[in-house]
């Protein structure tokens, strides 16, 4: 959730690190800061609010060669103010530290450091790192000394961290360490870069070293030396990032969210590529699960958070339909503490865009510990989840920058459909049923393009709905699963209260809330329950709620509907994909009309790497 960048080389180190930080704005933050080591001193500049405020403070300042580390903070310990913004320093002002993650034993460390005479300038957990390092650094330390001090400090703290340290005596060295929080090194010629996330590096380099848990590394302009927690030198092979740098920019759209909604067809097509064959068969050549391991799978459990969990709800129904076996779906935050009944014979699926969500990672570790076969359905290549699971099914949606997940959801559902077809290849579901699903899956990119072509109609409906103070999203079956994600989309970016309900539940309580000013979006794409949905919507209309119906193209416009949204015909199990494309647009245009900060909604972060 916080962001780290760093630079060492011949450019202006401070400006390069801060420029790089701009690429991480999507992560959500409340303050930003930068520290440089040059000319025998540490210089720190910090500002609350956006990085632009930091830019303003740096305007006109002298060029800094040497080393710099920068940070965007999302408050966990202490208020979002300048004193708590990173970087943090030791008592002597010899070093500066930036840190992502949480130091769990910071309170006791802080207490004992205080007793030993240290004075604290912030309320953060991070500051203990600076003081612990201070105690371990002798006068005029070498790069080796700093490396050893960081390693020893890392061993003393518990919790998660990606940290980067600069020292005034070592202008040609940055030392970094990681544990449960991502950190990557970008390799250049006569210069090197540092970031918590790959997009920050793309304007400068494509050659990237992904650090692993326990790694401590020393970075200079012409050197990167990585050691493991025991101090042994280790080799990490650089990987070549193939994303186009422009893929991480807005590409002409007003917001990343809108751009990413428009990337839905490509995201789904890429996710199906090489997996869904022309004859409708599914192959998963890149998933490292042996036929023997697959054959032992008796039960499937799907785990994720937020949007990823909602994709899992669709996957659950789909797998149950094809496999005719119970499939469970659970919030990662509940699963991890539920003493879950999971073990050998279970396939535990962990869905995540970032692959760094703390609860999902903890749930994965719990399932592994109990002997389940674990498969990560992940978008971010090289993420922790992808490295820790037994196998990975990448969703290939490309980088998603907007905090609100859009194309990642579409790709997740498409990937789950592939998986359902694969697991169900010898199940009882008829070959015809599987073939029909596979055909619809292959046609999804076109269906999504058709949804996007109707953006203006969706925007007009959004315009009419902007003044409503409360939304319900109703559906049955797959439509209910889709409704959960549609409601999340609206509430997170427009700040309008929105709830998803199984339509049949309305009469059991929530109908009492319907009155003028309440909008009810009925997802009516399922043939089997179409008439029932219409009667639910009539009940809303009778109470003067505003009714919006989302229906398939083949359906006639139902009477007593205030607004209509249409989606192309697709397999009933896949309707959440075009439905969400349309309802993501609806949420986007409602939020736009209300002037909300769409790409970085208040209080939210793209990647929730702490509990």
We find the least distance from the C-beta atom of residue 308 to ligand M6R, in angstroms, to be: 4
Size of the site for ligand M6R (CB under 6 A): 16
- Span near ligand M6R by CB under 6 A; candidates 67-75, 306-314, 323-331, 333-341: 306-314
Of 5 and 307, which CB lies nearer to ligand M6R in the complex structure?
Answer: 307
We find the least distance from the C-beta atom of residue 404 to ligand M6R, in angstroms, to be: 4
Nearest Cα neighbor of 174 from 102, 87, 238 is 87
Decide if 534 contacts 558 (C-beta within 8 A): yes
Query: Which two three-digit tokens encode residue 288?
Result: 């490292």
- The verdict on 261 binding ligand M6R (CB under 6 A) reads no
Decide if 173 contacts 143 (C-beta within 8 A): yes
Query: Which two three-digit tokens encode residue 531?
Result: 């008439």
Output the DSSP codes for 140-184. Answer: S--HHHHHHHHHHHHHH--EEEEEEEEETT-TT-EEEEEESS--E
Binding mask 235-254 for ligand M6R (x = CB under 6 A): --------------------
DSSP β-ladder status, 327-331 and 299-304: parallel
We find the least distance from the C-beta atom of residue 608 to ligand M6R, in angstroms, to be: 5
- The verdict on 608 binding ligand M6R (CB under 6 A) reads yes
Of 181 and 357, which CB lies nearer to ligand M6R in the complex structure?
Answer: 357
Residues 6+ apart with CB under 8 A from 11: 65, 191
Query: Which two three-digit tokens encode residue 408?
Result: 């990642």
The rounded distance, in Å, linking the Cα atoms of 410 and 397 is 9
- Span near ligand M6R by CB under 6 A; candidates 37-45, 340-348, 401-409, 417-425: 401-409
Q: Which of 218, 366, 492, 599 binds ligand M6R (CB under 6 A)?
A: 492
Of 481 and 514, which CB lies nearer to ligand M6R in the complex structure?
Answer: 481
Decide if 543 contacts 511 (C-beta within 8 A): yes
Query: Which two three-digit tokens encode residue 218?
Result: 């020393």
Decide if 503 contacts 475 (C-beta within 8 A): yes
Decide if 202 contacts 226 (C-beta within 8 A): no
Of 395 and 552, which CB lies nearer to ligand M6R in the complex structure?
Answer: 395
Of 128 and 587, which CB lies nearer to ligand M6R in the complex structure?
Answer: 587
Q: Which of 404, 567, 573, 579 binds ligand M6R (CB under 6 A)?
A: 404
- The verdict on 526 binding ligand M6R (CB under 6 A) reads no
- Three-state secondary-structure class, residue 103: strand
Report the residue closest to ligand M6R, judged by CB.
Answer: 306
Q: Which of 353, 484, 526, 584 binds ligand M6R (CB under 6 A)?
A: 353
> For residue 334, how many other CB atoms are within 10 A of its CB?
14
- Span near ligand M6R by CB under 6 A; candidates 144-152, 266-274, 280-288, 305-313: 305-313
We find the least distance from the C-beta atom of residue 533 to ligand M6R, in angstroms, to be: 25
Q: Compute the residue count for the chain.
A: 611
- Span near ligand M6R by CB under 6 A; candidates 12-20, 348-356, 387-395, 475-483: 348-356
In what helix (H) or strand (E) does residue 102 lie, and over which residues does it extend? strand 95-103
Q: Which of 124, 205, 374, 405 binds ligand M6R (CB under 6 A)?
A: 405
Q: Which of 357, 525, 536, 552 binds ligand M6R (CB under 6 A)?
A: 357
- Three-state secondary-structure class, residue 43: strand
Footprint of ligand M6R (CB under 6 A): 305-308, 352-354, 357, 360, 403-405, 488, 492, 607-608
């Amino acid at each position: 959730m916080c962001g780290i960048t760093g630079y060492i080389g011949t450019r202006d180190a401070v400006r390069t690190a801060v420029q790089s930080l701009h690429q991480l704005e999507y992560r959500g933050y409340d303050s930003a800061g930068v520290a440089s080591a040059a000319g025998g001193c540490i210089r720190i500049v910090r500002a609350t609010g956006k990085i632009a405020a930091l830019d303003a403070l740096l305007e006109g300042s002298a060029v800094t060669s040497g080393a710099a580390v920068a940070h965007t903070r999302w408050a966990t310990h202490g208020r979002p103010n300048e004193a708590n913004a990173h970087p943090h320093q030791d008592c002597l002002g010899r070093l500066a530290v930036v840190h992502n993650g949480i130091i769990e034993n910071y309170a006791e460390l802080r207490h004992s450091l205080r007793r030993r005479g240290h004075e604290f300038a912030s309320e953060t957990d991070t500051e203990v790192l600076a003081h612990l390092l201070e105690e371990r650094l002798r006068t005029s330390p070498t790069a080796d000394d700093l490396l050893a001090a960081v390693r020893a400090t890392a061993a003393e703290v518990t919790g998660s961290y990606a940290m980067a340290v600069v020292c005034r005596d070592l202008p040609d060295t940055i030392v970094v360490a990681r544990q449960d929080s991502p950190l990557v090194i970008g390799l250049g010629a006569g210069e090197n870069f540092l970031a918590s996330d790959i997009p920050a590096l793309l304007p400068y380099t494509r050659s990237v070293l992904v650090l692993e848990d326990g790694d401590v590394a020393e970075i200079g302009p012409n050197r990167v030396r990585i050691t493991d927690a025991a101090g042994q030198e280790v080799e990490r092979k650089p990987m070549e990032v193939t994303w186009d740098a422009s893929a991480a920019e807005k590409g002409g759209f007003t917001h990343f969210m809108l751009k990413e909604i428009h990337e839905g067809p490509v995201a789904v097509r890429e996710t199906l590529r090489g997996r869904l064959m022309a004859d409708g068969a599914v192959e998963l050549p890149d998933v490292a699960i042996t036929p023997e391991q697959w054959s032992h799978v008796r039960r499937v459990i799907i785990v994720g958070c937020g949007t990823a969990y909602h994709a899992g709800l669709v996957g659950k129904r789909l797998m149950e339909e094809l496999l005719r076996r119970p499939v469970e779906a659970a919030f990662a935050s509940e699963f991890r503490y539920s003493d879950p009944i999971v073990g050998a014979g279970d396939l535990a699926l962990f869905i995540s865009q970032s692959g760094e969500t703390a609860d999902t990672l903890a749930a994965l570790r719990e399932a592994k510990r109990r002997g389940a076969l674990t498969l990560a359905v992940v978008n971010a290549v090289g993420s922790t989840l992808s490295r820790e699971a037994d196998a990975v099914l990448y969703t290939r949606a490309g980088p998603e920058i907007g905090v609100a997940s859009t194309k990642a959801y579409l790709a997740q559902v498409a990937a789950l459909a592939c998986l359902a077809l694969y697991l169900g290849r010898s199940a009882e579901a008829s070959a015809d049923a599987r073939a029909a699903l596979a055909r619809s899956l292959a046609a999804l990119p076109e269906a999504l393009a058709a949804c996007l072509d109707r953006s203006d109609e969706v925007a007009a409906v959004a315009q009419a709905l902007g003044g409503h103070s409360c939304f319900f999203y109703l559906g049955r079956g797959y439509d209910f699963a889709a409704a959960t994600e549609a409601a999340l989309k609206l509430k997170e970016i427009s700040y309008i209260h929105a709830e998803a309900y199984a339509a049949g539940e309305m009469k059991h309580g929530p109908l009492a809330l319907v009155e003028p000013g309440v909008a009810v979006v009925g997802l009516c794409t399922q043939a089997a329950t179409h008439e029932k949905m219409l009667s639910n919507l009539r009940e809303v209309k009778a109470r003067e709620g505003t009714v919006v119906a989302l229906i398939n193209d083949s359906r006639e416009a139902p009477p007593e509907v205030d607004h209509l949204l249409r989606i192309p015909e697709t397999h009933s199990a896949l309707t959440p994909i075009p439905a969400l494309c349309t309802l993501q647009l609806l949420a986007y245009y409602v939020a736009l009309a209300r002037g909300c900060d769409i790409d970085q909604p208040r209080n939210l972060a793209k990647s929730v790497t702490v509990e």
